Each structure stands twice: as structure tokens, then as C-alpha cells.
């Protein structure tokens, strides 16, 4: 009997916001794999603290490189590809020996998730199942206390990594807006929001649904933003009775 590789979405961070299915798979897991930066505990692993059964085998998959080499350097792809092959070989071997493995995925696995790099490499070899989850952005817009979209609002989700020109074009065209990957792109994103006419309506949510959660108008930000768990939200203002 071949085992199954489960890519389980953990949601935005609050353990109570995990799905019943993810909760069940996690609490019965024998093998738990997760990505992390070398030397760190790992964000996904921290979210499930206290939920993994005693005796389960943990398999931390440590990125050989994160921001040390620019994305445009061909070595970046080479190193990452070799790393993904190595870890997926291990997961496949486990499944082929009859073991089920859960792979922890922050947010929703198929929405900008790291699990997709495993998924595409294992899906034609062993059984694999993806468990969707609440996205980080959903945790963020819920935290603002106002609906992200009404009626027929258009919603655009964009990363702060794009050029200022491209950001402005999308910001102008959409009704509701979510911006992620802000970190070092913060100043550019602020300029683009101003040029696109949405700066005054933008909220910054940090650590959504987690104990450290903060929500404030972007224009009221005085401190430096947290690179990893920051999301900018602009609410749509569509039709409502």
C-alpha cells in the first residue's frame, strides 16, 4: 500500500481557523514535513505548536538559499531545483514505503504557496491530496472589521515586487486591493498607492489572526513594517442596499 502526501493548508495562523480536516490530519500524523529557513524554527511549524502527536517524525526542509542570491541569478533556480528534488525524493520514498506524510503549508497551499513546488514533482508518482485553507489575506481583511468586496467589486491581488508603473496601473483599475510581499518594497508601494489614488483608504495588517496582530491606516504608520506577515488592504465600495 502506497501512502499519501497531504499538503495541508494551515490558514492565517490561528489554530482555531484551521479546517476540521487539517486539524484531524495533523493530530493523527506520523510524518510531518515543513519548509524553514536554516537556523529558524519555521513559521509553519510554529503555527502548529502543541498539535503534533508525540512520536511523530518531523522532517524540516531547510532552504539552502533565500535572499542571499538574487532571483535573477541562474544559480538561484539551479540550487532551488536541486533542493526540491532532494526533499521530494525523501517524501516519495516515505509514501512508497506505505507511510502517509503531512506537509505543513502556511495559508492556502495553491495560493502563492511553497507546497506547489513539491506538488508538481510528486503528483504523477504517488497519491497526493491538497487541503485548501483560509488565506492570509482573508485573515487580514477580517481583521480590518470591514468587508473587502461588495456587490460586483473587482478584487486585485498583487505583490509589492512589481514595478511602480505596473502597481499604479492595477491600483487605478481595481475596486478592492490586496498587496503582499511588501517588506523592502514598502516605499515603492506607498508611492504607487498615492499615484493610484488609494493611499488614504489603505490599511496595513500585520500578523493577522495571531496574538501580535495589528491593524492601522497605512497613512498612520510610523514604525517599520514587519517584512513577512504584512498585508495591505483597500476595501471595495460597491453596491449595497
Q: Which residue ranges make up the site for a second copy (CB under 8 A)?
A: 11-12, 14-21, 23-24, 71, 76-77, 80-81, 84, 108-113, 116-117, 119-120, 123, 130-135, 138-139, 141-142, 145-159, 161-162, 169-170, 173-174, 181, 209, 239-241
Q: Which three cell numbers stand for residue 233?
A: 488592504
Residue whose CB is less far from a second copy, 123 or 212: 123
Q: Shortest distance, CB of residue 104 to a second copy, whole angstroms?
A: 16
CB of 134 to a second copy, least distance (A): 5
Q: How many residues does the chain have?
A: 241
How far is the C-alpha of 64 from the C-alpha of 205, rounded, in Å? 30
| 153 or 164: CB nearest a second copy | 153
Nearest to 61, CA basis, from 77, 85, 78: 85
Three-class DSSP category at 173: helix
Separation between Cα atoms, residue 217 and residue 200, nearest integer Å: 8
Contact 204, 221 (CB under 8 A): yes
C-alpha cell at 1: 500500500
Q: Which is closer to a second copy, CB of 12 or CB of 196?
A: 12
Cβ neighbours, 10 Å, residue 187: 10
Between 117 and 194, CB nearer to a second copy: 117
Cell of 203: 490599511
Beta 5-9 vs 31-37: how paired, if at all?
unpaired
CB of 239 to a second copy, least distance (A): 7
Q: Nearest distance from residue 159's CB to a second copy, in Å?
A: 4
Of 161 and 219, CB closest to a second copy: 161
CB of residue 223 to a second copy, shortest distance in Å: 26
Amino acid at each position: 500500500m502506497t501512502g499519501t502526501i497531504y499538503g495541508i493548508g494551515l490558514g492565517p495562523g490561528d489554530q482555531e481557523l484551521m479546517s476540521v480536516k487539517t486539524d484531524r490530519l495533523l493530530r493523527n500524523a506520523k510524518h510531518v514535513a515543513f519548509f524553514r529557513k536554516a537556523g529558524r524554527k519555521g513559521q509553519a511549524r510554529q503555527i502548529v505548536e502543541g498539535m503534533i502527536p508525540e512520536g511523530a517524525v518531523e522532517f524540516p526542509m531547510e532552504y539552502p538559499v533565500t535572499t542571499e542570491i538574487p532571483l535573477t541569478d541562474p544559480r538561484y533556480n539551479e540550487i532551488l531545483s536541486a533542493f526540491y528534488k532532494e526533499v521530494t525524493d525523501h517524501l516519495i520514498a516515505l509514501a512508497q514505503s506505505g507511510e502517509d506524510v503531512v506537509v505543513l503549508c502556511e495559508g492556502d497551499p495553491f495560493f502563492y504557496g511553497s507546497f506547489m513546488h513539491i506538488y508538481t514533482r510528486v503528483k504523477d508518482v504517488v497519491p497526493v491530496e491538497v487541503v485548501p485553507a483560509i488565506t492570509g489575506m482573508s485573515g487580514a481583511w477580517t481583521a480590518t472589521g470591514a468587508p473587502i468586496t461588495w456587490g460586483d467589486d473587482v478584487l486585485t491581488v498583487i505583490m509589492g515586487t512589481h514595478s511602480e508603473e505596473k502597481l499604479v496601473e492595477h491600483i487605478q483599475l481595481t475596486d478592492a486591493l490586496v498587496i503582499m510581499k511588501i517588506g523592502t518594497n514598502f516605499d515603492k508601494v506607498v508611492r504607487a498607492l498615492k499615484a493610484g489614488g488609494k493611499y488614504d483608504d489603505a490599511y496595513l495588517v500585520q500578523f493577522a489572526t495571531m496574538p501580535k496582530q495589528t491593524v492601522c491606516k497605512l497613512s498612520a504608520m510610523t514604525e517599520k513594517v514587519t517584512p513577512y506577515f504584512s498585508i495591505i488592504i483597500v476595501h471595495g465600495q460597491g453596491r449595497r442596499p
